[in-house]
Structure 1
Amino acid sequence: MYYEPSKGHGLPHDPFKALVSPRPIGWISTVGRDGALNLAPYSYFNALSGKPPMVWFSSEGEKDSATFAGQTREFVANIVGRDLAERMNRSSVNAPRGTSEFAYAGLTPAPSRLVAPPRVAEAPAALECKVTEIFRPRSLDGREIGAFVVIGEVVGIHIDEAFLKEGLFDTVKAGNVARLGYMDYSTVDAVFSMRRPRWEE
C-alpha cells in the first residue's frame, strides 16, 4: 500500500500516529498567569538535546498547556508510569478552563524547586523546564499549521528513588507509558542493550 496524506488513505482510521510510535508521553503541568493549574498528557513529546537537557511538546491547537507555558515561560514534564496510566488518561478530559485536572484525576500537586508549576507527586520522575521558545511550524505551502511547539530547557529533575537501581533509572520498573496510536498504549516491559559501534574498532 502507498498513499499520499493530502489525498487520503482509504483506511478506517489514519495510520500516521500508529506508524510513528511508540511515542513517550509528556504529562505537562502548567500554571496560568492567574494561578489556574493545568495538567494534560501529550504524545507529541520528546527530548531534543542532552547538553543542555531540553524537551519539547506540541499542542494541536492553542490549549491551556501551550497558553499557560507561553504566559509564565515554565512547565513541568512529568513521566507517566504504568500505575498512573488510567489517571493520566483521566486528566486528558476536555474540562473547562479553571478546572484542576490534578483534583479531577486524584493526583497530588507537589511543589517544584525552580519553576512555579507543580509536579505530579506520584510520578516516577519529573522535569522542571523553562521555556526557550514557542513557535508554529509551517506546511510546504508556507502556512502556519495549527500546532504550537513548546521547547523548554530542563533546569531541575526529580526522580523517585524507588525507581533507581544501582544508580540507573529503571524504566521497566517504572513502566514508562507510550502512545501507539488509535486507542493503544504500551509500557516498557523488556530491555536489551547494544553499544554503538566505533569505526576504529
Structure 2
Amino acid sequence: MDNLAPHSFYTVASVRPPIVQFTSVGEKDSLRNIRARREFVVNLAPAWLLEEVNATGTDFAPDISEFDAVGLTREPSAVVTPPRVRESPVALECRLHQILPMGDCYLVFGEIVHAAVFSDALDTSHPQIGLLEPLARLGRDEWGTIGAIREIKRIRAADWPGHFRREADGAYE
C-alpha cells in the first residue's frame, strides 16, 4: 500500500552522484517497501502541510493508504513507480543505492533519478527557500520552520582581512 512517513533525519549524502539519505529508526513500513520496490520518493514537508505531515506518522496498518487516510493526493512520479505527493513543492524520485544497518537504525541511501520542483518556487533554476517553507521535525511532538533567512557572501581566503600566508614550515601567519 502507498506509504508516507515524516522522517526526522534526512540529508544530502553525495552531490555526484546525487544521493539523499534518511534514517529509519527500526524496521517500519517505509523501509520494508523500499526493500521490496527498490525505489522511493522523498517529498519536502512544507509548513502549510504540518497537520497532514504529522498525521502520516500515525502507526497505520500496512494495508492502509496513508495518502487516503490523511487526505493527500497521489501524483504519478516521472521515473519511479511509487507516487509522489501532489501538494509537496519538491519531490525527489530515488532508486535504492544502499541500506546500511547502524545500531538500532537503518541508513537508507537513494540515488536521485528525478527532481520535481514547483516552478513558482524557482528563481531561474534555483529554489527559493522562503517559498518552499520547509518544516523541520525536531523530535517528539516538536516541529520548526526555518525562520528568518539571511544571505551572506562567502569570503575567499585571498580576500580575508590580513590575508593568510603559508610559511615554508606549514604554519600560517
TM range (shorter): 0.7 to 0.9
1:105 maps to 2:70: yes
Among 95, 99, 122, the alignment partner of 1:164 is: 122
* Alignment partner of 1:124 is 2:89: yes
2:144 equivalent in structure 1:
186
The residue that corresponds to 1:71 in the other structure is: 36
Q: Partners of 1:115 and 1:159 in 2: how far apart?
A: 16
- Structure whose alpha-carbon radius of gyration is higher: 2
Q: 1:113 & 1:200 partners in 2: Cα distance?
A: 45
For 1:96, which of 53, 61, 79 is the aligned residue? 61
Superposition deviation, residue 164 in structure 1: 1.9
> Using the alignment, how far apart are the partners of 1:47 and 1:167 within structure 2?
18
Percent of residue pairs identical: 36
Task: Provide the residue aligned with 1:33 in structure 2.
Answer: none
Equivalences for residues 26-65 of structure 1 within 5 A = 36-65=1-30
**1:80 pairs with one of 21, 40, 45:** 45
Deviation, structure 1 residue 189: 3.2
TM-score by length of 2: 0.86
Structure 2: give runs of 5+ residues left out of the alignment. 160-173
Quote the residue 1:175 is aligned against. Answer: 133
C-alpha separation between the residues in 2 aligned to 1:135 and 1:174? 30
Deviation at residue 148 of structure 1 after TM alignment: 1.2
Q: Deviations over 1:148-201 (max 9, x none)?
A: 111001110001112123443121122110122342211123211223332233
| Alpha carbons 1:38, 1:100 under 8 Å: kept | yes
CA distance in 1, matches of 2:107, 2:35: 11
Contact 1:111–1:117, Cα closer than 8 Å, also in 2: yes
Give the structure-1-normalised TM-score. 0.75
Deviations 1:11-70 (A, max 9, x none): xxxxxxxxxxxxxxxxxxxxxxxxx21111101111112222111111111101111111
Q: Are the structure 2 counterparts of residues 86 and 49 from structure 1 closer, same or farther at C-alpha, using a change threshold of 3 Å? A: same
**Off by >3 Å, runs of 4+ in structure 1:** none
Length, aligned pairs only: 159
Partner of 1:135 in structure 2? 100
- Give, in whole Å, the separation in 2 of the partners of 1:49 and 1:84: 28
Q: Return the letter of the residue paired with 1:73.
A: R
Who is 2:169 aligned against?
none
Code of the residue aligned with 1:109 in structure 2: it is R
